């Protein structure tokens, strides 16, 4: 009987139980009511008295080994099963927030899109500018009020005068100095002015400058380009009107209004009942500017225009407080989800 028990013990140790069905088979074979161990206890009755103690221990020992093996495997399989139950493959995926684009970025991208489709390149310039690019080359006389401390953030005064650019027209100068006509470019960027912050003014904002230089560029080309732009941005029904104006770097100069898309030009409080909203400044590039930038004004002519991105955004999305653009209030920004 001792050998038999030893053999069974070895057999149990070598057993490989890899699933619940095999475990159940093992239980029935060894621990069941008609199982091997039950039989051993029956056989035990006929063991001679002097061997009973030793054999009894061996049988008990074998039963313990079998029971341990059973319970440890049972635990293992049950916990694996529970793990499986925890993973619900039918559950919808976790939604992660993709954020949204800032309205200024959206409108800048839209403006770039409109002009790149009609052949305009995008150009860039520094935000810290010298007097030449921001003022002098653009035909600002030395005593012009825009140069004043009240408007301009100066970084260095005196000989190496440097300032935060007050407009993106400075990029026109850089492009004309570095490229030969024909030139067709737009320059989006941030500009700075020494203004008290309020709903209607800010110390920094964004502009897009446009420049077109070639032979025989006329004022009619400028009007047609701006009408195209207005229709692309504000819809097919949009109309524009030009009012005479003055800028040092353009002659003649104009300010451009677009028909109010909020009231269909019927008159509302946004357009102050005029049916028109001012959107940009423009004009034919002054010959003095062309010459200052090394372009022969007897051969070439061109037009330029400059608009505020905040202004276009305000009209498109009816935002009436400039401060919202830089406060990073998530409730504001989240309203501009897009597929950009």
**What stretches of 255-335 show up as alpha helix (H) in DSSP?**
287-292, 309-317, 324-327, 330-333
Q: Which residue is nearest to ligand DAH (CB)?
A: 306
CB of 167 to ligand DAH, least distance (A): 3
Cβ-contact 285, 217 below 8 angstroms: no
Nearer to ligand DAH, 232 or 251 (CB): 251
Cβ-contact 338, 101 below 8 angstroms: yes
Nearer to ligand DAH, 70 or 305 (CB): 305
State whether residue 174 is helix, strand or coil: helix
Euclidean distance between CA atoms 58 and 77, whole angstroms = 29
State whether residue 98 is helix, strand or coil: coil
Euclidean distance between CA atoms 231 and 228, whole angstroms = 5
CB of 111 to ligand DAH, least distance (A): 14
* 179-238 binders of ligand DAH (CB under 6 A): 209
Nearer to ligand DAH, 282 or 293 (CB): 282
Nearer to ligand DAH, 40 or 138 (CB): 138
Per CB under 6 A, 304 contacts ligand DAH: yes
Per CB under 6 A, 292 contacts ligand DAH: no
Cβ-contact 257, 238 below 8 angstroms: no
Per CB under 6 A, 169 contacts ligand DAH: yes
Euclidean distance between CA atoms 9 and 272, whole angstroms = 99
Q: Could you say which of 123, 152, 250, 313 contacts ligand DAH (CB under 6 A)?
A: 250
CB of 199 to ligand DAH, least distance (A): 19
Selected range binding ligand DAH among 16-24, 52-60, 61-69, 299-307, rule: CB under 6 A: 299-307
CB of 292 to ligand DAH, least distance (A): 15
Selected range binding ligand DAH among 39-47, 215-223, 269-277, 303-311, rule: CB under 6 A: 303-311
Instruction: Could you list the beta-strand ranges (E) of the chain.
Output: 121-122, 128-130, 154-156, 162-164, 183-192, 204-214, 240-247, 250-259, 276-285, 301-308
Euclidean distance between CA atoms 103 and 222, whole angstroms = 27
Q: Could you say which of 167, 184, 206, 311 contacts ligand DAH (CB under 6 A)?
A: 167
Cβ-contact 230, 242 below 8 angstroms: no
Selected range binding ligand DAH among 110-118, 222-230, 268-276, 302-310, rule: CB under 6 A: 302-310
Query: At 77, which helix (H) or strand (E)?
Result: helix 49-86
Site string for ligand DAH, 272-291 (x = CB under 6 A): ---------xxx--------
**How many residues sit close enough to ligand DAH to count as binding (CB under 6 A)?**
11
Selected range binding ligand DAH among 4-12, 114-122, 147-155, 300-308, rule: CB under 6 A: 300-308
The contacts of residue 187 (CB under 8 Å, 6+ apart) are: 122, 123, 124, 125, 168, 171, 172, 175, 208, 209, 210, 211
Binding positions for ligand DAH, rule: CB under 6 A: 167, 169, 209, 247, 250, 281-283, 304-306
């Amino acid at each position: 009987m001792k050998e038999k028990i030893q053999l069974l013990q070895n057999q149990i140790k070598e057993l490989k139980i890899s699933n619940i069905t095999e475990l159940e088979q093992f239980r029935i074979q060894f621990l069941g009511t008609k199982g091997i161990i039950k039989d051993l206890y029956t056989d035990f009755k006929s063991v001679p008295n002097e061997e009973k103690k030793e054999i009894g221990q061996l049988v008990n020992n074998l039963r313990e080994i079998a029971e341990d093996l059973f319970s440890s495997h049972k635990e293992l399989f049950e916990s694996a099963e529970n793990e499986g139950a925890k993973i619900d493959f039918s559950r919808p995926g976790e939604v992660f927030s993709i954020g949204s684009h800032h309205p200024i970025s959206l409108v800048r991208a839209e403006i770039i899109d409109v002009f790149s489709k009609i052949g305009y390149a995008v150009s860039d310039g520094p935000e810290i500018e010298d007097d030449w690019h921001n003022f002098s080359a653009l035909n600002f006389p030395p005593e012009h009020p825009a140069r004043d401390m009240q408007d301009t953030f100066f970084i260095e005064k005196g000989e190496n005068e440097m300032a935060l650019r007050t407009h993106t027209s400075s990029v026109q100068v850089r492009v004309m100095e570095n490229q030969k006509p024909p030139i067709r470019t737009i320059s989006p960027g941030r500009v700075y002015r020494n203004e008290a912050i309020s709903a209607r003014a800010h110390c920094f904002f964004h502009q897009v400058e446009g420049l077109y230089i070639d032979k025989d560029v006329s004022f009619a080309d400028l009007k047609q380009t701006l009408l195209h732009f207005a229709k692309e941005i504000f819809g097919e029904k949009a109309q524009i009107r030009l009012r005479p104006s003055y800028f040092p770097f353009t002659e003649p100069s104009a300010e451009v209004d677009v028909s109010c898309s909020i009231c269909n030009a019927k008159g509302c409080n946004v357009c102050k009942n005029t049916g028109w909203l001012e959107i940009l400044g423009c004009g034919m590039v002054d010959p003095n500017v062309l010459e200052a930038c090394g372009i022969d004004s007897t051969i070439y002519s061109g037009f330029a225009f400059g608009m505020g991105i905040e202004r276009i955004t305000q009209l498109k999305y009816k935002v009436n407080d400039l401060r919202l653009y830089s406060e990073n209030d998530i409730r504001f920004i989240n309203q501009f989800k897009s597929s950009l």
